[in-house]
Amino acid sequence: MMGRKLSSISLRMEVANSSDVTLVYREDGEITYVSPSIERVMGYDPAEQVGRAIREFIHPDDLLMAREWLDELLSAPGRRDATGPAVMIATREAPQHLRLTIPRPG
């Protein structure tokens, strides 16, 4: 999720109880929020990830592809429900291929 604040109670509860990992980050890639599910899915403590750069999680071979997709999304602010590339993501156990997505609001 980019550019959307987790301000409503219902959105916070939905994200907190989801099995999907949700990251909120600034345009420069600094993570400002991580959902609790990151601990179960990737083995990371959510609080330890805030302030880190999202690129730290993406395999170097996939960074350009992920950056191009994110740049495309940033150039079309109203675009939602976009499925991005499958990229190699670092987890505590072993790298995994995960798909980047931007969910449709509401």
pLDDT for 99 beyond 70: no
Half-sphere exposure of 70 (CA within 13 A, CB side): 22
User: What residues does 102 pair with on adjacent strands?
Assistant: 82
pTM for the model stands at 0.66
pLDDT digits (tens, 9 = 90+) for 38-65: 888 888 898 998 999 888 888 888 888 8
8-state DSSP, 56: G
Vertex 41: Cα angle to 52 and 25 (nearest 5): 30
